[in-house]
Amino acid sequence: MKRGNEGKRTSGSWFGEGAISCVLGLVCLMGAWIAERSGVSHAIVLTAYAGAYLFAGQAGLREAWKSLREGKLDVDVLMILAAIGAAWIGQPFEGALLLVLFSLSNVLQQHALAKTNRAISKLLDLRPQEAWLLRDGVTSRVAVEDLAPEDLVMVKPGEQVPIDGKVVEGNSGIDESTLTGESMPVSKGPGNEVFAGTMNQSGGLVVRVTRRAGDSALARMARLVEEAQREKSSAQAWLEKAERFYAAGVVGFTILVGLVGWLIIGMNAADAVYRAITVMVVASPCALVISTPATVLSAIGGAAKRGVLIKGGSHLERAAGIEIVALDKTGTLTVGRPSVTAVITSAGASTVDEASAEARQWLCFAAALEARSEHPLAKAVVEAWTEERPEASDFRSVTGKGAEATITGRTFLAGSGRWMTELGASGVEDLRAEVDRHQADGQTCIWLAERVGDGIQVRAALAMADTIRVDAAEVVAGLKKQGIRRVVMLTGDHPDVAEAIGRKTGVDEVLAGLLPEQKLDAIRELKKSGSVLMAGDGVNDAPALAAADIGVAMGAAGTDVAMETADVVLMGDRIGHVVFLIQHARRARRVLKQNLIFAASVIVLLIITTLGFHLPLPLGVIGHEGSTVLVCLNGLRLLWTGGTTP
């Protein structure tokens, strides 16, 4: 009985599929049983039993022979020896029943474990095989594999996106649930990335290809899961090493039981061998060795369906024991880009949505001016004004200070408070208190002023900040409910800004002003207090992610560095999946313990029953193979269920 992804029985066999061989073996067994009680010739009965042995046992015999050639004893060898022994003492029915149930058990395990592979490989089937190529104004259907970077592809409403790319024309909502696990559509427009296998819902899009089909996020996701399933957990690796010693011990114990029964207790040789063979069957560790891969592979597959890629069983095990969580600020606890949080005028501060007509007028002029600027904060101002705006002319940028332009015949300036002071602008003090309050809260303020005659008059100020994710505080609370002892925020940002965000999100500790190498040192220091999970964007956080016990890359659907560096990859951009990861890993650990305890208990119970109460071999076979199937199905539950995401 082979274990795991690399060791599952090959479905093909000498006489076709394993399931077909199992059925043929069962038919021969039933035929032999009926023939034996119908008084037909002994030769026909033996032929029927031989057919049962041949069909049901041929796969096990091949695996047993392979193991013996490698100098190993495993459960395949034990089962074949037990079946041969039963036939040798004149109990071919018991031996054939053993092989049929052993074959059935393997077929069921193979079917169950294959579901974890099919759940992921189906994602690749979701990707269209053809795409609408747009070239020189003409569209044509081409194979997705023929598309190259820089090609333009049309995606019509209701169609699936055929390949990774960036939108160059059109707006639409995209259902990315197949990739990220998120149920809500994501708005896409020019400049936004789209991914193969996702569903275009409402509007037509023109997409510029950025990756070939084989390098798409969907294809990389499938490859990662396949690699993860090949990586054994420490428990599985230990069990597989222990199996050969255990199997040798079973053989030795079987011989001892037979000799004691025959030479000491005085049983006849056939009865002593019968009991010894029963012991060999019930003591075989099938359920033990299958319980770990069944659980781990199902857990990895179940997490992948939620957009959480765990890159191996060892990472899943470590995630279950996390005590400290370190979260990067920018792009993890926050959305990763600034936005206008308040418009400040002499009348006070208000949000963009609640701003007065006067405040909205100044915001409109600021957006018109900043539309010509390349400053990092300019985009936030432009995005804050969603209505039509006038065009700016005579634009002039003043390096390190601000910019100036003419709008509807009036000259406006936007820049820092220091620049306004240097220019001797009036009205600065009217806004100073409110601006200072926002800056103390970690926000950045841009001042808007107008040239009036020979002077400059301040009109408004715009407060901006990298806004906190709406679920950030809930996620931190969720981590603490999971028993996480410390939640630490790591950032290279200014301490005042970091402390303000730390207070709002509820983290236990804030480490600010850190360079990438200092984040690495912080992770090493945290590891002295317990097992550490680090979540970041996978680019500038790469050293810290690699140093943590578990590195989690956020929003990595299109990030090569994150795919390579982190132990766990969140395909979506939702921090709540960190809570799900820990919940899911701990649930997998509980299921694994259940399986191991159950499997070991059944083995002990069956051995005691065999030695003390003369358990018949058929019942021993049913108990042994039944426990194997049960632990496999119990582990398989993780493929469909998991924790909740805040």
pLDDT tens profile 310-359: 887 888 889 999 999 999 887 788 887 788 989 999 889 998 888 899 99
Q: Which residues contact 584 (CB under 8 A, 6 or more apart)?
A: 299, 302, 303, 308, 638, 642, 643
Percent of the chain surpassing pLDDT 70: 86
pLDDT, residue 109, reads: 64
| Lowest-confidence pick of 320-324, 361-365, 440-444, 463-467 | 440-444
| Bridging pattern class, strands 172-175 and 152-155 | unpaired
Shared-domain flag, residues 240 and 116: yes
Answer yes or no: is pLDDT of 19 > 60: yes
Answer yes or no: is pLDDT of 523 > 60: yes
Encoded amino acid at 261, one letter:
G
Answer yes or no: is pLDDT of 3 > 70: no
Answer yes or no: is pLDDT of 4 > 60: no
Percent of the chain surpassing pLDDT 90: 29
Residue 280 buriedness (CB in 10 A; 0-12 / 13-18 / 19+)? buried
Q: How far apart are CA 131 and CA 109, in angstroms?
A: 39
Q: Distances from the Cα of 122 to the Cαs of 117, 127, 144, 179, 476, in angstroms?
A: 8, 9, 17, 12, 34
pLDDT, residue 280, reads: 82
Question: Euclidean distance between the first and final Cα of the chain, in Å?
Answer: 41
pLDDT, residue 230, reads: 57
pLDDT, residue 613, reads: 83
Residue 33 buriedness (CB in 10 A; 0-12 / 13-18 / 19+)? middle
| Lowest-confidence pick of 75-79, 338-342, 408-412, 418-422 | 75-79
Shared-domain flag, residues 235 and 105: yes
| Lowest-confidence pick of 24-38, 54-68, 236-250, 495-509 | 236-250
What's the domain range around 184? 128-214
In this prediction, residues 20-38 reach a mean pLDDT of 88
For the chain, the average pLDDT equals 82
Residue 13 within any structural domain of the chain: yes
Q: How far apart are CA 277 and CA 592, in angstroms?
A: 29
Shared-domain flag, residues 25 and 73: yes
CATH of the domain at 210: 2.70.150.10
In this prediction, residues 491-497 reach a mean pLDDT of 78
Residues 259-278 pLDDT 10s: 888 888 878 888 888 888 88
pLDDT, residue 608, reads: 92
Shared-domain flag, residues 114 and 141: no
For residue 190 the two structure tokens come to: 């020019």
Q: Distances from the Cα of 74 to the Cαs of 241, 347, 545, in angstroms?
A: 11, 82, 39
More confident residue, 180 or 289: 289
In this prediction, residues 2-20 reach a mean pLDDT of 47
pLDDT, residue 449, reads: 95
Q: How far apart are CA 384 and CA 439, in angstroms?
A: 19
pLDDT, residue 6, reads: 39
pLDDT, residue 15, reads: 35
More confident residue, 177 or 614: 614
DSSP-derived 3-state class of residue 511: strand
Residue 134 forms beta bridges with which residues? 139, 152
Residue 519 buriedness (CB in 10 A; 0-12 / 13-18 / 19+)? buried
For residue 62 the two structure tokens come to: 């091949």
Residues 573-611 pLDDT 10s: 788 899 999 999 999 999 999 998 998 999 899 999 988
Residue 320 within any structural domain of the chain: no
| Lowest-confidence pick of 120-129, 201-210, 619-628 | 120-129
Shared-domain flag, residues 48 and 153: no
Answer yes or no: is pLDDT of 233 > 60: no
Q: How far apart are CA 591 and CA 631, in angstroms?
A: 9
Yes or no: say if 165 and 133 are a contact pair by the CB < 8 Å rule: no
| Short-list 415, 416, 361, 433, CA closest to 390 | 361
Q: How many domains does the chain have?
A: 3
For residue 504 the two structure tokens come to: 């709002």
CATH of the domain at 411: 3.40.1110.10
Shared-domain flag, residues 116 and 14: yes
Shared-domain flag, residues 139 and 205: yes
| Short-list 579, 502, 500, CA closest to 533 | 579
Token pair 């993890």 in the structure block, residue: 332
Shared-domain flag, residues 178 and 247: no
Residue numbers annotated as active site: 328
Residues 111-139 pLDDT 10s: 655 655 555 555 555 567 889 999 888 88
How many CB atoms within 10 Å of residue 499?
A: 16
Radius of gyration over every alpha carbon of the chain, rounded to an integer in angstroms: 34
Residue 309 within any structural domain of the chain: no
Q: How far apart are CA 58 and CA 180, in angstroms?
A: 44
pLDDT, residue 626, reads: 83
CA 475, 485, 495 angle in degrees (round to 5)? 70
Residue 323 buriedness (CB in 10 A; 0-12 / 13-18 / 19+)? middle
In this prediction, residues 186-195 reach a mean pLDDT of 85
Q: How far apart are CA 507 and CA 510, in angstroms?
A: 7
Residues 151-184 pLDDT 10s: 999 998 888 888 889 999 988 888 776 665 554 5
DSSP-derived 3-state class of residue 324: strand
Residue 456 forms beta bridges with which residues? 451
Answer yes or no: is pLDDT of 195 > 60: yes
Yes or no: say if 278 and 98 are a contact pair by the CB < 8 Å rule: no
Yes or no: say if 627 and 618 are a contact pair by the CB < 8 Å rule: no
| Bridging pattern class, strands 324-328 and 532-536 | parallel
Shared-domain flag, residues 364 and 416: yes
Yes or no: say if 28 and 57 are a contact pair by the CB < 8 Å rule: no
Q: Distances from the Cα of 126 to the Cαs of 120, 176, 198, in angstroms?
A: 11, 12, 8
Q: Distances from the Cα of 70 to the Cαs of 65, 191, 244, in angstroms?
A: 9, 57, 11
Shared-domain flag, residues 62 and 84: yes
Q: Distances from the Cα of 459 to the Cαs of 122, 375, 455, in angstroms?
A: 58, 21, 13
Q: Distances from the Cα of 574 to the Cαs of 156, 320, 472, in angstroms?
A: 27, 20, 9
Residue 262 within any structural domain of the chain: yes
Shared-domain flag, residues 253 and 197: no
Please provide residue 472's backbone torsions phi and psi, each rounded to the nearest 5 degrees: -60, -50
Residue 486 within any structural domain of the chain: no
Q: Sort residue 4 into left (φ over 0), alpha (ψ -120 to 50) or beta.
A: left
Where a domain ends, among 422, 445, 467? Answer: 467
The H or E element containing residue 303 is helix 286-305
Please provide residue 183's backbone torsions phi and psi, each rounded to the nearest 5 degrees: -85, -25
In this prediction, residues 610-635 reach a mean pLDDT of 83
Yes or no: say if 101 and 54 are a contact pair by the CB < 8 Å rule: no
DSSP-derived 3-state class of residue 88: helix
Residue 326 within any structural domain of the chain: no
DSSP-derived 3-state class of residue 448: strand
pLDDT, residue 390, reads: 93
Where a domain ends, among 214, 244, 267? Answer: 214
Answer yes or no: is pLDDT of 228 > 60: no
Residue 103 within any structural domain of the chain: yes
Where a domain ends, among 428, 452, 467? Answer: 467
Give 216's pLDDT tier (boundaries 50, 70, 90).
confident
Shared-domain flag, residues 357 and 451: yes
Residue 174 within any structural domain of the chain: yes
